[in-house]
């Protein structure tokens, strides 16, 4: 991809610099090289972006649904054709490995193919009426303009997850990508949709920082829906601002997933799934398994196999094909995670595996002897650190899994699938996977969490519900009699 073009704002169908004086330097998290430099967007740039999206949306919502569909089919084809270039950008800007990039690109292609079906699924309904000679028509309409705020960990996919269905359902969109991944989470999407034939002005990308614009992106009067993916602390603020301004907030927030291994599980398979669930993209995934909870009778055997597998993971340069664990996003993240691990050890946790940190590359850490009340067991870790815990009964496993303020994802491994489903149904999370990983997303299945893991669902029909609104129009075909 042309990073010179991508290192610009995309506003009102034009590639240009932001009006801000500050320069945002986009750096490679592994080696610190500059990927691009952005003149940041100002409040006035945000105004222009929203006004452009609103103006273009009025025409776009009237475009024939079959014509709308072709844009998303072409976008999916573009991503497929340019997968190698996109992989290079994900490695350079996000610090993801080629394996991670391939996983993310596959999810994006699936999301675009699903979005291509949405224009044809804008169904209305006719309801009977209690009033004589009257019909009730309920029309489904776009909400208008959607503001999308995306994270740094899976920026290409998690931005597309909100952008593609919003556009496909007839809305305009303005994106504010994370300042550390402005290309893969923002301008890359603009370039793809521009090439795919999306009308100019409908999708806008404003690359900026909160100190420059404050809450202006959230408070602006034009967007009716704000779709945010990120931390629960920031998500709470987004939700509060949205509520004050009578906007809908879709919040996909943090997690503290439990991975439960029962005594009858296939241990080799459970180990493979657990390692994937924790260490994919260095554990920087909201669905990642923070806590692996193993039935006591097989805990020792599981632990030995698990530690051997984790110890074999190659760390280092994400551009190297053998690397499994690349860098965390920045030095602040590394320092914070080191502090949390040390605090847990000081509080009595036993490090079964604890490697050395090299720059932003954080070697895997496995801790045991952690109680459910410890901070390290209750909060999201967002890095290659995992806790091993034990349980005796299914009820105890469920209690441990639910002893957190989060409820995004989880997994249960057992050869008795009915037992797995019984356990899963008692876990307070939006998504539980029996005999699989905690990291899963499919384009037609509702994705979202409970408790502090978020509000709302995306994918498939859930995206239709979240990103459209309903209008009731009644028609009286006769002459109604009124009491006065």
Please identify every residue annotated as catalytic: 252, 286
Q: Is-contact 309 275, C-beta < 8 A?
A: yes
C-alpha to C-alpha distances, 414 to 84, 262, 397, 399, nearest whole angstrom:
38, 5, 13, 18
Q: Is-contact 365 334, C-beta < 8 A?
A: no
C-alpha to C-alpha distances, 20 to 10, 16, 142, nearest whole angstrom:
14, 12, 32
The order of strands in the sheet holding 225-229 is 14-16, 9-11, 203-205, 172-176, 145-149, 225-229, 248-252, 454-455
Q: Are strands 257-261 and 289-295 parallel, antiparallel or unpaired?
A: parallel
Q: Which H or E run contains 385? A: strand 385-391
Tokens of 442: 């499919």
For residues 1 and 183, give the distance between their C-alpha atoms in angstroms, rounded to a whole number.
10
Max CA pair span of the chain: 84
Tokens of 406: 């989060």
For residues 222 and 242, give the distance between their C-alpha atoms in angstroms, rounded to a whole number.
12
For residues 409 and 257, give the distance between their C-alpha atoms in angstroms, rounded to a whole number.
5
Tokens of 145: 């303009």
How big is the chain by its Cα radius of gyration, in Å?
Answer: 24
Tokens of 1: 């991809």
For residues 33 and 37, give the distance between their C-alpha atoms in angstroms, rounded to a whole number.
11
Tokens of 90: 């994900």
Q: Is 30 in a helix, a strand, or coil?
A: coil
Q: Which among 443, 123, 438 has a CA at the least distance from the CA of 293?
A: 438
Q: Which among 320, 267, 314, 319 has a CA at the least distance from the CA of 292?
A: 267
C-alpha to C-alpha distances, 382 to 152, 251, 278, nearest whole angstrom:
12, 18, 9
Dihedral in degrees, nearest 10, Cα atoms 204, 210, 213, 218: 60
Sequential DSSP letters for 447-479? B--EETTEE--BSHHHHHHHHEEEEEEEEE-S-
| Residue with the two structure tokens 């100190």 | 211
C-alpha to C-alpha distances, 464 to 87, 122, 155, 447, nearest whole angstrom:
30, 8, 22, 13
């Amino acid at each position: 991809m042309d990073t010179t073009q991508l290192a610009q704002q995309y506003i009102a169908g034009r590639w240009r610099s932001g009006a801000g004086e500050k320069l945002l330097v986009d750096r490679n998290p592994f080696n610190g090289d500059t990927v691009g430099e952005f003149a940041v967007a100002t409040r006035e740039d945000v105004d222009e972006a929203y006004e452009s999206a609103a103006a273009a949306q009025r025409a776009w919502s009237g475009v024939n649904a079959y014509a709308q569909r072709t844009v998303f089919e072409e976008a999916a084809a573009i991503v497929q054709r340019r997968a190698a270039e996109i992989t290079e950008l994900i490695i350079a800007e996000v610090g993801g490995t080629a394996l991670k990039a391939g996983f993310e690109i596959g999810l994006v292609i699936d999301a675009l193919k699903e979005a291509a079906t949405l224009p044809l699924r804008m169904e209305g309904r006719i309801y009977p009426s209690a009033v004589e000679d009257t019909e009730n028509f309920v029309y489904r309409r776009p909400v208008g303009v959607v503001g999308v705020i995306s994270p740094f960990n899976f920026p290409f996919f998690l931005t597309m997850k909100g952008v593609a269905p919003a556009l496909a359902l007839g809305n305009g969109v303005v994106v504010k990508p994370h300042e550390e991944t402005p290309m893969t989470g923002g301008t890359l999407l603009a370039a793809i949709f521009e090439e795919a034939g999306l009308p100019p002005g409908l999708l806008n990308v404003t690359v900026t920082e909160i100190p420059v614009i404050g809450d202006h992106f959230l408070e602006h009067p034009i967007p009716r829906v704000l779709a945010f993916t990120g931390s629960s602390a920031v998500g709470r603020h987004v939700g509060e601002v949205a509520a004050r301004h009578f906007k809908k907030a879709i919040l996909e927030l943090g997690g503290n997933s439990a991975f439960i291994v029962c005594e009858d599980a296939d241990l080799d398979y459970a180990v493979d799934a657990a390692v994937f669930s924790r260490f994919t993209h260095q554990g920087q995934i909201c669905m990642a398994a923070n806590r692996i909870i193993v039935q006591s009778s097989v805990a020792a055997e599981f632990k030995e196999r698990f530690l051997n597998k984790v110890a074999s993971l190659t760390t280092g340069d994400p551009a190297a094909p053998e690397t499994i664990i690349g860098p965390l996003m920045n030095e602040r993240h590394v320092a914070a995670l080191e502090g949390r691990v040390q605090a847990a050890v000081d509080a009595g946790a036993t490090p079964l595996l604890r490697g050395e940190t090299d720059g932003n590359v954080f070697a895997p850490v496995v801790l045991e002897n952690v109680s459910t009340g410890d901070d390290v067991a209750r909060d999201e870790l967002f890095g290659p650190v995992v806790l091993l815990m034990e349980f005796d009964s299914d009820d105890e496993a469920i209690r441990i899994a639910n002893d957190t303020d989060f409820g995004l994802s989880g997994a249960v491994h057992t050869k008795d699938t009915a037992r797995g489903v019984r356990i899963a149904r008692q876990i307070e999370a939006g998504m539980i996977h029996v005999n699989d990983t905690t990291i899963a997303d499919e384009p037609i299945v509702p994705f979202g969490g409970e408790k502090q893991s978020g509000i709302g669902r995306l994918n498939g029909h859930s995206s239709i519900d979240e990103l459209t609104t309903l209008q009731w129009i009644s028609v009286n075909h006769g002459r109604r009699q009124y009491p006065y």
